[in-house]
Structure 1
Amino acid sequence: MENNKNMKFHVRDCALVRMSTGFRAQTLREFKECIERVPESSIYHHFWGRFLQPQFDEPEYNNDFAAWVYHSLHEKALAEKLSVIDPTEFEDIESIRQELIERIEDYLFEYEFVPGARADEQFYFVQSQLVVLDTGLNLNEPKDLKEAVPQMSPGSIFYHFIDARRRTPEKTNDFSAWLVGWGKEYEPLANSFKQMDPYFGSLEALRAMIHQECIAFFNGGNS
């Protein structure tokens, strides 16, 4: 999203297409070795992919790695160490990869026994490709956000708020990038969006938070 004043904001939607990487693991050591070798897109998917997958209950752990370590290896302590990794706190995917590896290596060093899963509970590393769709919804000026955000699908929120961190030069969300181009008047709203951590929650909850910030800003006499 270019930061040009008076440029329309084109709302997009998206979906993830899952693909196999060919990597799979049954023991914790194999798991670590696969994490060292899989494409970055696989690391990204196993942290963020759950947001665009149907959830029938509240996930116990925040990423696929932690969930597998708990449910298939039954290593709760390590699962908790992996679950608290917040990908928004890292500069890039490679930094996240190294953090995963270090935490698993520390665990393997501490315990001589290498846990393994049953043959039917192996971890299959997948990657995903983002398919972007045009919704036909365009915003002409910042105040349009207040009415538009509640209409946006979870896929739109994912694309503009989460995936945007990989696309924008400032590694920020598309809403903030767009607002900055409209001048200092909208910097408080842009900054409030930047301060949101989208990881520990759902897209629906994130959409509600964005909407509340819009209501507070535009109903508070800022525009």
Structure 2
Amino acid sequence: MDNKEEATFQFYSSQNLIFLTGRKAKNLEELLSGIKEVEEMSIYYHSHHYLDQREFLSPEPPNDFFYWITHDLQNKVLGEVVASIDLRQMHSLKEIQSRIVEVIERSLMQNVEASLTNVSPGEEFLFMSVRTFVYPTKYTAASLSEFRYCLRSVPINSIYFHIFGTRFNKSLSSMSEWLSTSLNEVELAQKIEKIDPYTITLENLRDALIRIVEKRLMEKNNA
């Protein structure tokens, strides 16, 4: 890769193919076994799919494990603990998987009877998974002003992919990596990293990114 390619940020987008794994759970013990044994992309789907459906609305983050434990198993205490796992602190899908397993195992040790509570037929947890197809958009940026233009113009799926998808796909540079290495905008990259993308809508996330970049452009113009 030559220097020009390294200095240009390619915006990607993605489409997901969602499918049933054939595995289901009727109680907490079966849920735990499933979480331990399913592929990591199943963990990704159940912990992240609500985010790319949340373009304009911002409900409480309902990862699927939290929802099922709370509403179907009626175990609100454990559900709250699962919901409180800070995904921003997780650096891999394996880490998310291990953390959820740890929380459920601790709960079962404290309340063995909870593992024997079955949901009614038809309310089982269905393990899903996903295949993500990544493709380049027509948008590229070689400067901060071009980067701002692209942020305004790319489809919302591209914003989702570059904030969430690249966290677990290290084959592509993240926005922050490109800003710090290609444009030497280390402080700007750090500000982007501090945004909590799990608590706002995708459009608000886009707006937050644009505001940070615009502020930096104004600083450079006034220098």
AA aligned to 2:217 is F
Cα shift readout 1:124-160 (whole Å, capped 9, x = no counterpart): 1111111223321222322212222122222101111
Q: Which residue in 2 is equivalent to 1:72? A: 72
The count of corresponding residues between Structure 1 and Structure 2 is 220
* TM value normalised by structure 2: 0.87
AA aligned to 1:161 is I
Q: Secondary structure at the match of 2:131?
A: strand
Q: Secondary structure at the match of 1:21?
A: strand
Q: Relative to structure 1, is the Cα distance of residues 12 and 146 closer, same or farther in structure 2, using a 3 angstrom cutoff?
A: same
Q: Which residue in 1 is equivalent to 2:194? A: 195
Q: Which residue in 2 is equivalent to 1:83? A: 83
The structure richer in helix per residue is 2
Q: 1:155-166, aligned counterparts within 5 Å?
A: 155-166=157-168
Cα deviation for residue 6 of structure 1 reads: 6.4
Does structure 1 conserve the Cα–Cα contact (< 8 Å) formed by 2:9 and 2:141? yes
Does structure 2 conserve the Cα–Cα contact (< 8 Å) formed by 1:9 and 1:138? yes
AA aligned to 1:146 is R
Cα deviation for residue 3 of structure 1 reads: 8.6
Cα deviation for residue 74 of structure 1 reads: 1.4
Does structure 2 conserve the Cα–Cα contact (< 8 Å) formed by 1:5 and 1:182? no
Does structure 1 conserve the Cα–Cα contact (< 8 Å) formed by 2:162 and 2:174? yes
Whole-angstrom CA distance in 1 between matches of 2:131 and 2:57: 25
Does structure 2 conserve the Cα–Cα contact (< 8 Å) formed by 1:2 and 1:177? no
Q: Which residue in 2 is equivalent to 1:213? A: 212
* TM value normalised by structure 1: 0.87
Cα shift readout 1:188-218 (whole Å, capped 9, x = no counterpart): 2112112223223332222121111011111
Q: Relative to structure 1, is the Cα distance of residues 11 and 103 closer, same or farther in structure 2, using a 3 angstrom cutoff?
A: same
Q: CA RMSD for the aligned pairs? A: 2.6
Q: Which residue in 2 is equivalent to 1:167? A: 169
Q: Which residue in 2 is equivalent to 1:148? A: 150
Structure 1 gaps, min length 5: none
